[in-house]
């Protein structure tokens, strides 16, 4: 069983390495201001560009996700993306704000403090 449970780590790492071989993934941390190109399968595989601030990251091997908060027409929108999703074509870190929290949920109340 000890050896079998290792398989889990191996599989996670293998899958992550495979994605890393295909595209570069920067160090996405809370406080990062990102610009990313996303392919939307529902929308005839059209690519869209999103820009926003990362307010949380959840580490879980291949299932690692980050939470992006942005303003769409003056309304705050949060979306969760799997870091290793093949639908994410490119991630660019535009800026790294200095933050002292792992989860920046307080930005929901004052989005203007760290303008997107």
Nearest approach in angstroms of CB 96 to another protein is 27
Which residues ranging from 14 to 73 are in contact with another protein (CB under 8 A)? 15, 39, 41, 61-63
Among 88, 83, 50, residue whose Cα is nearest residue 65: 83
Sheet with 46-58: list strands edge to edge.
Answer: 75-82, 65-72, 46-58, 32-40, 88-96
Asked if 99 is part of the footprint of another protein (rule: CB under 8 A), the reply reads no
Asked if 84 is part of the footprint of another protein (rule: CB under 8 A), the reply reads yes
Q: Which residues bind another protein (CB under 8 A)?
A: 1, 4-5, 7-8, 10-12, 15, 39, 41, 61-63, 82, 84-87
């Amino acid at each position: 069983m000890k050896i079998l449970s290792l398989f889990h780590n191996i599989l996670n790492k293998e899958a992550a390495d495979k994605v890393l071989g295909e595209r570069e993934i920067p160090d996405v941390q809370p406080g990062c201001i990102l610009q990313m190109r996303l392919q939307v399968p529902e929308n005839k595989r059209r690519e869209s560009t999103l820009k926003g601030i990362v307010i949380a990251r959840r580490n879980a091997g291949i299932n690692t996700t980050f939470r992006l908060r942005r303003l769409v027409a003056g309304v705050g929108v949060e979306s969760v993306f799997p870091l290793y999703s093949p639908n994410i074509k490119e991630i660019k870190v535009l800026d790294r704000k200095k933050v002292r929290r792992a989860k920046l949920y307080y930005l929901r109340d004052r989005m203007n403090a760290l303008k997107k």
